Amino acid sequence: MGPMRYRPNRALTFRRICMKRHLLALGLAAATTAASAQLSVSGPDTTFGGYDGTPATYTGTLSSGTFNGLLDTGLGGTLTVTFLGKDDAWHNNTLTFAGGTVIDNQTTAVGTSYTFDVAAGPLDFLFTDLTDGDTVANGGPSSAYGSYVVVPGSAVGAGNPAYGQYDFILGFNDGHLYDADYDDLVVGISLVPVPEPETYALMLAGLGAIGFMARRRRRQD
């Protein structure tokens, strides 16, 4: 009688393959869940003209967006803000975020980016026309002639974003000439969101399943 030959258990092998595919599906579901908590905007649509100057070089000509759009970060996360310039603005305008990050249309270099953590819910920021004193916070209301628009990043042509691609473009309009062109201080913003609680649960479930398979395999070996 010759030596016994090992024959793999095909049913067991099939179950292991199915389990691996299930874990992969869990991972994909986790990624999808994490991606669902993105930066969002709400508010009335508006159209405008005269958008040009330095911002148009990096975004293309914009002509529509959400007027004083309320930006919400969902569960919060890490925000990157990039200054995309200004038209020949005679007014000194700033964009200030909670925590002290300030972009100044007269002193901040075009292409400068800031990255910082933001809390869940409405994004805390304030546009200010230092020349006239007009201000407008996230969601408005406008103060005198100060207002802004939020434009989806998808509106920016692939050849324009020299400093990156963004979730949204924010364009501020100050009181100079009352022209409503929304190019007096322009930034691009992007959010890396905090994963939703379900993501962690799926990750833990996947790790638990991997551990169970490893222990079961050791017992069978």
- CATH number of the domain to which 76 belongs: 2.60.120
CB 95 within 8 A of CB 172: yes
183 and 101 belong to one structural domain: yes
The pLDDT of residue 32 is 37
Q: Are residues 201 and 97 in the same domain?
A: no
- pLDDT of res. 103: 98
What's residue 10's pLDDT? 58
Residues 31 and 51 in one domain: no
Provide the pLDDT for residue 158.
76
Give the model's pLDDT for residue 28: 44
Classify 214 as helix, strand or coil.
helix
Domain that holds residue 216: 10-36+197-220
Q: What was the pLDDT predicted at 15?
A: 55
Residue 119: inside a domain: yes
Sites in the chain below the pLDDT cut of 70: 1-37, 196-221
Task: Give the pLDDT confidence score for residue 16 in this predicted structure.
Answer: 55
Q: Does residue 113 sit within a domain?
A: yes
Phi, psi of 122 (to 5 degrees): -60, 135
Q: Are residues 70 and 171 in the same domain?
A: yes
User: Does residue 96 share a domain with residue 177?
Assistant: yes
Q: Residues 15, 95: one domain?
A: no
Q: Are residues 82 and 186 both part of a single domain?
A: yes
111 occurs within a structural domain: yes
Q: How many domains does the chain have?
A: 2
Same domain, 183 and 96: yes
Residue 129 lies in a domain: yes
Instruction: Give residue 13's pLDDT.
Output: 53
Do both 181 and 102 map to the same domain? yes
Q: Are residues 189 and 204 located together in one domain of the fold? A: no
Contact 207, 178 (CB under 8 A): no
- Contact between 106 and 87 under an 8 Å Cβ cutoff? The reply is no
Output the pLDDT for position 178: 76
CA distances from 148 to 14, 133, 181, 188 (A): 58, 15, 9, 13
Q: Mark whether 82 and 29 lie in a shared domain.
A: no
Kindly report the average pLDDT of the chain as a whole number: 82
